[in-house]
Amino acid sequence: MSSHSIPRRTFLGTVAASATGAAIAAAVRPGLLGATATATGARSTSTAPAWPIKLGVASYSLREFPLDKALEMIKTLRTPYVNFKSVHVPYEKTPAELDAWRKSIEAQGFTIVGGGTITFDKDTDADVEKYFVYAKAAGMPTMVSTCVPAILPRVEKFAKQYDIKVAIHNHGTEDKNYPSPYDVLKYVKGMDRRMGLCIDVGHTVRTGTDVVKAVLDAGPRLHDMHVKDLADMSSKDSQVAVGEGKLPFPAIFRALQTIKYPGYVNLEYEINAKDPLPGMQVSFAYMRGVIAAIS
């Protein structure tokens, strides 16, 4: 595939994706949404606006593409919000290079919402702080991260010093430290407010955890969210486009509104790495349709 062209399936998928969002708002059953409609189907007349849900992209979804092509593809999703993976913003860049990168990204209309997942693998000041230097220079307000629990106090120290939020990512049954959001919460609940978690909804349900309850229980400790969908709630390899699986997205988004979640809901599309955009477009169309329905 040429580095100057978007995959052909993108254009074939766009037509279907553009129609999906409009259909979802009419198709989602009120029973899944809570009391959003009367018995006759009329919309509530409440004038209070729904809490906004901000949809973004984890650039890991586009890991097979160079930065310029990834940004071109993200523009088709009509969101400015991006969490950047190191494949697109290498750790080895100098602070000056990162600052120039940040200015270029922002000049193109994007908002840098975070970076990661970043692994703190050594418990020394130098090895932890280098990632905070990286994130600060790149304009990342949140670091989606992981580390062994013993390193968390040192991470907290630099989170306060650099005023950067740290969102520890749960990775499901394979993760010996943080399989579910509750495994993160038990460590960060007494720490500085900047220490929190990134709930990965797909990894969460694979542990048998109620993801909606986890969102509600995380409350202000929820600093980031990665979304994906699964056809089999216990299988990592069953990932599909959002809306084609079994995760309860209307209830998840309702929970985010309930806690007044101020962060971003970042699509982490891990399948079809060579041609991810059609599935990402379908995912965004579905999520926008759900948001419209519950709002």
- The length of the chain, given as a count of residues: 295
- 25 located within any domain: no
Euclidean distance between CA atoms 238 and 254, whole angstroms: 25
End-to-end, the C-alpha distance of the chain in Å comes to 41
Give the position of tokens 């991260």: 145
Q: Which residues contact 40 (CB under 8 A, 6 or more apart)?
A: none
- Give the pLDDT confidence of 172-198 residue by residue, as tens digits: 999 999 999 999 999 999 999 999 999
Task: Decide if 176 is inside a domain.
Answer: yes
User: What is the C-alpha separation between 134 and 64, in angstroms, rounded?
Assistant: 22
Q: CA 255 to CA 261: how far, in whole Å?
A: 9
CATH of the domain at 175: 3.20.20.150
Q: What is the pLDDT of residue 89?
A: 97
Question: What's the confidence (pLDDT) of residue 222?
Answer: 98
Q: Is 191 within a domain? A: yes
Q: Residue 240's domain spans which residues?
A: 68-294
Residue 35 falls inside a structural domain:
no
pLDDT of 50 reads 81
Residue 225 and residue 81 in contact, taking contact as beta carbons nearer than 8 Å? no
Q: Within the chain, which residues score under 70 in pLDDT?
A: 1-49
C-alpha to C-alpha distance for 45 and 41, rounded to whole angstroms: 12
pTM of the model: 0.85
133 domain-assigned: yes
Question: How many domains, in total, are found in the chain?
Answer: 1
Examine residue 258 and say whether the peptide bond preceding it is cis (omega within 30 degrees of 0): no
Residue with tokens 């998928």: 13
Token code pair at residue 13: 């998928």
In a domain, 114, yes or no: yes
Q: What residues are paired with 195 via a beta bridge?
A: 166
- Residue 277 included in any domain: yes
DSSP character string of the chain: --TTS--HHHHHHHHHHHHHHHHHHHHS-HHHH-S-B-TTSPBP---SPPPP-EEEEEGGGGTTS-HHHHHHHHHTTT--EEEEPTTTS-TTS-HHHHHHHHHHHHHTT-EEEEEEEEE--S-SHHHHHHHHHHHHHTT-SEEEEE--GGGHHHHHHHHHHHT-EEEEEP-GGG-SS-SSHHHHHHHHTTS-TTEEEEEEHHHHHHTT--HHHHHHHHGGGEEEEEE-EESSTT-GGGEESTTSSS--HHHHHHHHHHTT--SEEEE---S-TTS-HHHHHHHHHHHHHHHHHH-
Q: Please check whether residue 110 lies inside any domain of the structure.
A: yes
pLDDT of the residue at 73: 98
